[in-house]
Chains A and B, each alone.
Chain A
Amino acid sequence: MQPLPPDWQQPLERYNEAITRRQFFRTSGTGLGVAALTALLGNRALAAGGTEAPVNPWKFAPKAKRAIYISLIGAPSQLELFDHKPALQTRFREDLKDWLKDQGERLTGMTSKQTGFPLAPSIFKFAQHGKSGAWVSELLPWTAKMVDDICIIRSMKTDAINHEPANQLIYTGSMQNGKASMGSWLSYGLGSMNQDLPAFVVLHAKHTSPFSNVQAISSRLWGSGFLPGKHAGVSLRPQGDPVLYLNDAPGIPRDLRRRMLDGLDALNRRSYESIGDPEIQTRTQQYEMAFRMQASVPELADLTQEPAATYELYGDEARVRGSFASSALMARRLVERGVRFVQIFHRGWDQHASLPRDIASQCKDVDQACYGLIQDLKQRGMLDDTLVIWGGEFGRTVYSQGTLTEANYGRDHHPRCFSIWMAGGGVKPGQVYGETDEMSYNIIKDPVHVRDLHATILHLMGIEHDRFSFKFQGLDQRLTGVVPAQVVKDILA
């Protein structure tokens, strides 16, 4: 595996645009440089409806060269983790029915028919940590240790009240089908920094509790939508082949595969000589890249060579293939090798009932490993230019869904406020941003809409969000959509 200097692809793409097909044609097949270029050109340009390569007026020097997005599917409760509301302790079981009416907020079909809306204070203890004095609950002891490395945003808000549309909004910028995911936008805009790995890699981390309420996700959350298909996220899988179909069939040794590919190359070359279609060369190069991936991916996926210290940092769970901890470790290995965007999906955060039991096990899955990841990046000097984002798709209600007891309750979906954290990559560390009202219901200070989060992530990655567009169906499609979005300047380092 040959890590390439960051940003190497952009000059190449510009070069590609500059050279004519003719020059390209004439110089093809003369060496690896051109061959690699061919591979990068990828698909035949389909100019119609606008699919031309992006010109880059939107690009500037980035703070973050790569990003890891930890997606907690199901929506973790802000009230249990970061949004401390001590005053609610005395209001246990207060019926919020009338108060809710005044809020004018729609309720989901799950609680809209509930007769009472008993206020459920969190049963978990909070304490202040670090120099910043950020409040973090006892459910996240490891996160608490690193509050000075991260920026907690307690004032996120979204438009969607159910999982499907909310996940689509936060990971594709739109509640409608057919849009491009955040990772594919970054792949499209920034390209890869490693010729042997995709620019956008997706990891599916298993949750451990059998009780957790698991929400569905779908490939549209990492799909390329209207962007060219090569920008879709590639799943690195904990079972079977780490990348689909990566391994040769049993009984085909590596040297034989090499010779088969040599023959393939020789045959394709003849075909190219008679037909002249540059796509033939591109194809040969894809086979070569596939061959290299066959070597580089297993090396990447092999965590056994990590020293014991790594496992101390991420926790022993990191030895379990497919666990969140091993995914976090894998994310580090991926960004280390130049992958632009890694997204970890961890499901099971939808606690409509038995919230105390289930959120505890979910937190246990991720807490130490998140700490480990941040410290690991820091130790390697990579945190400064690696952006890490942690969060779900919306928040949860202050009132209990279903029966409320001293020890047990559930919370319904709540779009008006939720908490996330960000770290590294140009984010101001040790900060708590935004504030909600006494009920953790409405934002009273510094709201951050999902589109603002997108604008901020793009900004940190060196992209001006309002100029970064792709023409599709006659429109300049943007990750941040049509409603104006703001970069959250206050959280920038």
Chain B
Amino acid sequence: MTHSAPAFGFSFLALSIGAAVGWSAPLPAKISYNEHIQPIFAENCFHCHGPDSSTREAKLRLDRALDATSSREHREPAIVPGDPKASPLIERILSTDEEEKMPPLESHKELTADQIALLQRWVAEGAVYEEHWSFRAPVRPAVPNVPLAQGWARNPIDAFVAAKLETSGLKPAREENRARLLRRAAFDLTGLPPTPAELAAFAADKSPDAYERAVDRMLATDASAEQFARHWLDAVRYADTHGIHIDNYRSIWLYRDWVVNAFRQNLPFDQFTIEQVAGDLLPNATLDQKIASGFNRCLPTTSEGGAIVEEYEAIYAKDQVETLSAVWLGLTTGCAACHDHKFDPVSQKDFYALTAFFRNSTMPTMDGNRHDTPPTLFVPVAADRDRWTVLQAAIGEGKSELQARSKSAETDFAEWAATAKALIMPPIDHSVRLHAPLNESSGSIAVTKRNRKSPAPFAVPSDLIRGEGLFGPAPKLNGLDLVLGPAVPWVRETADSFSLLLRVEETPSGPLLSCLSEDETMPGWELFLEDGKLGLRVSDGEGRVKIRNVSSTGLTPGSWHHVVLSFDTASIRSRPIEVFLDGKSAVNSGASAHMPADIVPAAPLRLGSRLPASGGVAATLTGGDVWVQDLRWYDRGFVVADAKSMAEILETQVALNVPVADRTAAQTKMLRGHFLAAVDAPSLQLAAKAAPLLAEEAVIRDRGAITLVMEEKPNSEPFAHLLNRGEYSQPGDKVLAATPGMLPPLPEGQPRNRLALARWLVAPENPLTARVTVNRTWQHLLGAGLVESTGDFGVMGSQPSHPQLLDWLAVEFRESGWDYRQLVRTIVTSATYRQSAAITPALLERDPNNRLLARGPRYRLDAEQLRDQALASSGLLVSKLGGKPARPYQPEGVWEEVAMKESTTRHYREDVGENLYRRSLYTLWKRTAAPPAMEILNAPNREVSCVRRDRTNTPLQALVTMNDPLYVEASRQLAARVMRESSRFDARLDAVSLRLLGRTFARPERTILRRTLDDALATYQREPDLARQLLKVGATPADETLPAPELAAWTLVASQVMNLDESLTK
């Protein structure tokens, strides 16, 4: 900025502009920096003259009084308080010289005459700066006393609203009619419509506090906790997949349930905050507090093959800080990743100091595409928790006893090791469903069966050929047709694995373990040999699953091999079907790991043969001899590490044959292991004692779940490097964890970690958290925040429409002990909230977005509320709290068209039964393909924090609520319900509308609906086939006691009511 413009130009220009343009609005009596000046600066000047030092021009900084009014190296101050004429700032904005004029031409910005006048007056009045409003701690303002509030106000909120209405010359609307008000409150507080019974009870309750009591009743429901949790899950970007690249399933729903439970218990918001941000760091953290720390694990992560660790570490840290900033601080700190914030006093250093809090965790950068990326926590179901603790202690004790025995067993071991001629078959554990040792020297084969699936009796051939095995004689399979038991289906969320010892001569081909029939069209699976190599076949008989893979290396003839066939869809790993040979992966189901269909074979489980084609002889092994031994069928899955240790038996056998003196330390170790596991009587006794405990542990594990949690690196102080331009490859200075400079500092003398950060967020002196939280709550209830930019309370954010009300609510919230339920109650019981939403043309013109609150809120319901309404009104809703993500109806192909072959969320498979009808917040959320009906209705994709949903109105949304099978089925169930209740048209219609609208229809409306019913009935009576087709939609069967044409016609009526604007809107 130079000062070559002639001094006389200024006054001339000022006069001419004033005269020519004229003021379009009177200037305010007193100019306020925050209210009037800062927005002009922010929009037009701060980009080059703001907090960001890297793009600052002419060394001029206009956002701070001292900088703006002091001399800059050889230059006079830009602003001379009290003297606009002498202030270069004013001079430059008035200039007509293209070189001189500010803002410059290339910025495409231009000041209006009003803005120029404001700046002139402000400078003339002394250019008084103010701290940005949101960075000052809120102070409880006096409640205004205005005439408009008399007789209308119900609580202080209304006094503030009335004061604003009075200055605007507006009046509040009348109170909403009771039924509509109850429906509004029900959706806001529970996310569900009121039931007819609740409506009736409310209508009958004539006491003055009937509404308040209805509110309290609703606030105390589980549904209410689910409704509040849903908003929170948007903010913390909760989802059930990793999000980047392969986008596999991630097990973190226990965190979601923690959020629901926190709202159920009305956990104070400060505690709610601390436990999520740093529950793991609390002294003696409880299981629940650790689960809460899963907040820190909700971020999208990757394990892409070529991904560069440092790059993703930077991305994750930024995401964590952006989320924290948006949710608690209402700040857009992300801008400061590359440079000092353009508008807010958040420097790049501030930003990286914040990232440091999150860069000290043990979480690996690459998520490994695992559902259980560490750190994790196993969480038993509530009923098992106490027993789990006891059990862990008992199991630990058993282990110690075993260890003690292993030490004292050394003499016995040495004796055995010196003399033993053969290995002893190790005993089976609790996970074995069936065991066939196959080591009898003659006669029949013994089979141990247990667990749920009891196989049919083993058919024992009399002419078995036996050869030498690891544990005694082993039978030869060739030519045998051994039926082990009924078919073993491979269905989702189960595990069925097999292990066996195998020896071949030459290169045999044929079935080993088979649930397959010769007929290719039948579903089945088979482990087979092909020219001496292991192979795997899986087919669903319909072409959706068709796998036939053969190992690349063959079995060594004459040697014993260890084979494991692992099928496991219970633990959601990338390779649910895998064959291990001698502890190494040999065959798997290929890239299409996650099967789009269950495999339910018709053929029983056979060893060494395959179900013959009808009338034929069973196919068996040819091309070489095959011996087997120690066949085990488990109810669990195996990974490579398990298979490796199981296969050690082969090396143990080798070790046994080595003379004692020549045995290596490793061989002796293996033998010792075998001795203790299979030979030593005291050890076996101890193991037998522990067996029921371990079995019980397995059962509890099955019932419980893993959840991702946060964990701090031990003995490491959080730090980060400043990254130049945000580039991970350009680390700069090291910074320690700290909070942004413009906000209160962390207290001294405490570790500067996440716990300190968490406590700082809810410290009384923090000016933002309370304001941001009450504002977001206000938005959820009234449709828009008092600060409309919910996630941005910074300089570029919106000004609060009712600053004093915001501060009153913030202080009230904090001083109530951060009582969230109380906050919600205060808002929904205000007269402001209770206003009618009807709009007059005059009001619409005056205040289209209802910033002045002269009417009640009226908005389209959220995606989840719409679906839940359909479920609730029809009676389909399954009100069950929490649990694994549910997979309701979804159109085919939505996952497949974006997913990678390897992904565990490649094939969407709908649930069966009650999970189809759970509340929408439990729907499995895949980040790269969000539930489509919800996405169409503006649900966010949960990839980044969302504190304010978009709310559009599109034809695609109409298609969802008309045609999504869920809505069609719900319409049918609602129709059936009301038909069963009454046979009269009016009564049925009332029953529909009460459930959806909370009211009964007026006569003219009934006429319209009657016409729909008559039209539909005529159609369906004429073409009953159409009726039957319509009634088939959805998994629940149609009520056959009702005449199909009539039920179909009422289905259409119910759907029509469900699609009314009034149904879709709160």
Contacts and interface: CB of A to CB of B under 8 A. Distances in A.
B306 A286 contact: no
Residue of B788, B795, B932, B1012 ringed by the most chain A CB atoms within 10 A = B1012
A215 B900 contact: yes
Contacts of A239: 892-893
Contacts of B865: none
A208 interface: no
A178 interface: yes
A272 B1062 CA distance: 10
B304 A473 contact: no
Given A245-B960, A260-B1055, A290-B962, A267 B1060 contact: yes
A13 to B, nearest CB: 16
A264 B1005 CA distance: 10
Nearest to B47: A476
Nearest to A287: B958
Interface in B931-974: 932-933, 935-936, 938, 941, 943-944, 950-960, 962-965, 968
B342 A276 contact: no
A228 B952 contact: yes
Nearest to A250: B1029
A176 B332 CA distance: 14
B1008 A256 contact: no
Interface in B908-938: 927-930, 932-933, 935-936, 938
B551 to A, nearest CB: 19
Contacts of B860: 279, 283
Interface in B279-320: 300, 302, 304-309, 311, 315, 318-319
Interface stretch (A18-26, A83-91, A375-383, A439-447): A18-26
Given A216-B900, A252-B1052, A271-B1060, A286 B1026 contact: no
B459 interface: no
Contacts of B845: 20-22, 25
A162 B955 contact: no
B179 interface: no
B866 interface: no
Contacts of A125: none
A282 B108 CA distance: 34
Nearest to A279: B953
From B300, B729, B1015, name the one whose CB has the most chain A CB atoms within 10 angstroms: B1015
Contacts of B953: 42-44, 279, 282-283, 286
B844 A278 contact: yes
A473 B900 contact: no
Contacts of A252: 1026, 1030, 1052
Contacts of B950: 43, 46, 224, 228-229
A475 to B, nearest CB: 7
A49 B960 CA distance: 30
A253 B1019 CA distance: 9
A252 B848 CA distance: 39
Contact of B927 (A218, A245, A277, A283): A218
Interface string B761-787: 000000000000000000000001101
A286 B729 contact: no
B1060 A268 contact: yes
B344 to A, nearest CB: 8
A243 B344 CA distance: 44
B343 interface: yes
B944 A178 contact: yes
B144 to A, nearest CB: 24
Nearest to A221: B898
A412 B964 CA distance: 43
A286 B792 contact: no
B730 to A, nearest CB: 12
Contact of B952 (A25, A111, A230, A467): A230
B57 to A, nearest CB: 16
B795 A474 contact: yes
Contacts of B943: 177-178, 220
B600 interface: no
Contact of A241 (B308, B796, B848, B891): B891
Contact of B300 (A177, A244, A251, A253): A177
A95 interface: no
A47 B788 contact: yes
Contacts of A246: 959, 963
Contact of B1005 (A26, A270, A282): A270
Contacts of A267: 1005, 1008-1009, 1056, 1060
Contacts of B952: 42-43, 228-230
B307 A162 contact: yes
Given A164-B245, A164-B304, A219 B951 contact: no
B928 A286 contact: no
Given A21-B848, A250-B1029, A260 B1012 contact: yes
A242 to B, nearest CB: 11
A370 B1030 CA distance: 42
Contact of A218 (B342, B790, B898, B1052): B898
A150 interface: no
B1061 interface: yes
Interface stretch (A102-110, A128-136, A428-436): A102-110
A293 interface: yes
B354 interface: no
A266 interface: yes
User: Which residue of B897, B901, B960, B1030 has the most chain A CB atoms within 10 A of its CB atom?
Assistant: B897
Contacts of B343: 474
A275 interface: yes
Contacts of B305: 108-110
Contacts of B965: 249
B1027 interface: yes
B445 interface: no
B1061 A268 contact: yes
B839 interface: yes
Contacts of A47: 788, 798, 849
Interface in A449-480: 467, 473-475
B891 A244 contact: yes
A164 B959 contact: no
B564 to A, nearest CB: 27
Interface in A265-306: 266-268, 270-272, 274-280, 282-284, 286-287, 289-290, 293-294
Interface in B998-1012: 1002, 1004-1005, 1008-1009, 1011-1012
B308 A229 contact: no
A234 B956 contact: yes
A351 interface: no
B38 interface: no
A274 B858 CA distance: 13
A474 B797 contact: yes
A278 B302 CA distance: 45
B335 interface: yes
Contact of B892 (A108, A110, A240): A240
A275 B858 contact: yes
Contacts of A243: 956, 959
Given A228-B950, A252-B1052, A163 B245 contact: yes
Interface string A187-210: 000000000000000001000000
Contact of B839 (A176, A276, A467): A276
Interface string B1028-1063: 111111000000000000001000100110011110
B840 interface: yes
Contacts of B380: none
Contacts of B932: 244
5 residue pairs, one from A and one from B, having the closest CB atoms: A48-B788, A474-B796, A251-B1030, A108-B306, A218-B928
Given A47-B798, A267-B1060, 18 more contacts: A46-B784, A46-B788, A46-B950, A108-B307, A163-B304, A178-B944, A218-B898, A228-B950, A237-B891, A241-B891, A244-B936, A268-B1062, A270-B1002, A275-B838, A276-B840, A290-B962, A473-B796, A474-B792
6 contacts: A25-B845, A49-B797, A106-B729, A164-B307, A245-B964, A293-B955
